[in-house]
Structure 1
Amino acid sequence: MKWSEVCIHTTNEAIEPISNILHESGASGLVIEDPLDLVKQHDNKFGEIYELDSSEYPEEGVYIKAYLPMNSFLSETVEQIKLTINSLKLYDIDIGNNHVSLSEIDEEEWATAWKKYYKPVKISKRITITPTWEDYSPVSSDEIIIELDPGMAFGTGTHPTTVLSVQALEQYLNKDDLVIDVGSGSGVLSIASVLLGAQEVHAYDLDDVAVESTRVNANLNKLGNQIIAKQNNLLDQVNLKANIIVSNILAEIIVQFVGDAWDNLEQNGLFITSGIILNKKQLVKDKLEQQGFKIIQVNEMEEWISIVAKKVL
């Protein structure tokens, strides 16, 4: 089978929403080429990626590459992708250059080429994420290994927003906590929660492909019985009392369900939010405080923000 590689030249801010658009359009094997990965200095080595080729990266902005089967619907699919990306401007999201290009690629090349981007990555003091095809041995007795199959490419744990989320979970999660993961994607935050001691995680995502990806990765890590993945729009109709709600989505989406998060938390429960670009920090903080949350921690990594808020009556 022939595949078409769709390459979108855009901004770091637009990575998450454009990735979702591509997944919803049936794309597979997502790759993000960010030139900042070539020069960034990691103070604590968390999230560091190695073996990168500078010739494959843009001088500015980022490349998002995904793969679509070459069929009679390809041109219509690409046009719909372009229209949906343009609509992100309505949400005040900078889409930058927004140049979209297509190139043909053989199935065998597609099936293996993108794997070179995924290596074992230590993302917190205790947690290392490794793709299933990489051999990796723990370097310390308390190291936690998460195996992921990023074939559906809903996040591999290396993006700053995921790193910030995992670090917050590692700091605040207590043994036997009940956790809700809103916008579960690949399931990395759900898996991390259980491995850090959560009794059970309820994982929700609107995209049924993401829900299946969460289930697949939960089973890869032998946690299928503790991670309950369901298709759902944010926290609509959810009625639980969690100790922690974690959500790594866009700021514009987070503010839509702050009230539902409050209703689904125990007293003194924590709402861990990430996926927030720096210039949207105040938007989320204001919404959380209006609801009654007390902001207890704000962390920053490479222009991205995570906020930990406590439900205090």
Structure 2
Amino acid sequence: MQSDPGYVAVHERKKSSPQNARLLERIAADAASAVIAAVAVAPAICTIDKSIVENASGKRRLVESIKHSMTELVTKPQKFFLSKTFGLVAMVYAGTYLVANTTDTFLSYKKGNEDITKVTAGTAKFAGTSSTNILLTLVKDRTFARMFGTGASKPIPLPTYALFCARDCLTILFSFNVPPALSKVLPDNIAGFSSLSTAQILAPAGCQFLSTPMHLLGLDLYNRGEKLSVKDRIQAIRANYFKSSLARIARIVPAFGIAGVLNSKCRYYMMENIERRMKNDRVALG
């Protein structure tokens, strides 16, 4: 009877049922890790993003804007955490890390890989995370530009959208795909960090020296229109490049450095617990 194909098929489904049953738990762990990471770093990112936009528009100087946001965070925390700006930032990074996490989960599930804690760095993750991050960041940046820019609210020009897309693709590449490769050439246990954790901080931070001009040009096109000369654009970017680069490093380290490490650690421990229970289920089923 055991040679009957129908019996074998049913038996195989029963053997794989623990993994099927745990898939929703794994997705829940992916989501929980993403939200924890996003909410933990959103206050810093929200403050810096707002200051960069206000500084570029001339509404407030960079340091003045940061002080204003920090004062509100301390004196009116409920207003700060319930604000649209905080919600938009948390949405961007929770969504981005959720897609990154679930991509790893579904790739592992599809291959039947026993190591469900594995982190990938392939094309699928880049395509998913970059498209998600670009879409959500454009929503956030459009709202920030309208809230904290100069003059009346106006449509975002297409060149600004294109520059923001290029900026975000570069950031995603350096945040999710470069760190695994970079970690192979870095020493382990730097100041208590693993080589991967160190790479997750260094790669996106270094990327900002390349992406900041795209960001500043996009904001300048929005704030001053598209009819200015190339010389005027270069002068505007040069005037704000260094401090904006440092500000963007200060925001990207929490966004894809600290949040990346926190997301990875949370997901690893949650998945490790789920994997242990999956093994117990397999043993129970024989």
TM over 0.5: no
Between structures 1 and 2, the one with greater strand share: 1
TM-score, scaled to structure 1: 0.22
Larger radius of gyration: 2
1 or 2, which has the higher helix percentage?
2
Higher relative CO (Cα under 8 Å, sequence separation at least 6) belongs to 2
TM-score (norm 2): 0.24
